[in-house]
Amino acid sequence: MKVPLKIFVVDDEDILRITMCDDLQDAGYEVEAFANPLEALESIRKKEVDVVITDIKMPQMDGIELLGKIKEVRPDTYVIVMTAYSSVDSAVEAMKKGAYDYIAKPFKLDEMLLMLERITELRTVKQENRRLQQEISSRYPLEALVGESAAVRQIKELVNTVANTRTTVLITGETGTGKELLANIIHYT
């Protein structure tokens, strides 16, 4: 069973904010609404949220500035920027700051629901990827290299040095000396 996305809607226009919240709740999402972006940002600092849907033009703070602050606090949060004053420049700026997508008002509910469905799928893929990475790295821990000799300590130091780089490594040695194990440890660390 999928866990519904937690969504914050940030817009100073009451009618749009309330309507969108009702529509998204009817679609099965957990939604909180904010008229003030500063209050939304404070809430984002306190609790996790999957998606923030924000307007660009707001009196206290514009949506692009809010986007930047959200990405500082919660870099994994998806941000959808919406505006009635759409321009190529504002769309490009939003995407450069890390927006997931950009939508011009007025929009159809189906457009927003499609974006949220794509985010749900992407979130699921990322979670599965993290789980698989943890599973694989637990199969090939550095501790699998057994030994306390100077040579083994030196190999462990080299593994730590190259494991998180994109460097090509050539491992040589006689049959049965653990070349494949070492390669897996480097690859999955």
Question: CA 99, CA 140: separation in Å to the nearest integer?
Answer: 36
Task: Give the confidence band of 6 by pLDDT, cuts at 50, 70, 90.
Answer: very high
Mean pLDDT across the chain, nearest whole number?
A: 89
| pLDDT at position 73 | 94
Asked if 10 and 42 touch (Cβ cutoff 8 Å), the reply is no
Q: DSSP labels for 82-131?
A: EESS--HHHHHHHHHTT-SEEEESS--HHHHHHHHHHHHHHHHHHHHHHH
| pLDDT at position 34 | 96
Over residues 28-80, the pLDDT tens digits come to 999 999 999 999 999 999 999 999 999 998 988 988 999 999 999 999 999 99
| Cis preceding-peptide flag for 106 (omega within 30 of 0) | yes
Asked if 187 and 166 touch (Cβ cutoff 8 Å), the reply is no
Task: Give the confidence band of 149 by pLDDT, cuts at 50, 70, 90.
Answer: confident
- Radius of gyration from C-alpha coordinates of the chain: 23
Question: CA 169, CA 3: separation in Å to the nearest integer?
Answer: 41
Structure tokens at 169: 């490594």
| pLDDT at position 2 | 67
Asked if 186 and 163 touch (Cβ cutoff 8 Å), the reply is yes
Q: How crowded is the C-beta side of 36, counted as CA atoms within 13 Å?
A: 5
Over residues 159-174, the pLDDT tens digits come to 888 877 888 889 998 9
pLDDT of 1 over the 60 cut: no
What are the structural domains of the chain?
A: 6-133 (3.40.50.2300), 140-188 (no CATH)
Mean pLDDT, range 79-89, rounded to an integer: 85
Question: CA 166, CA 67: separation in Å to the nearest integer?
Answer: 31
| pLDDT at position 16 | 92
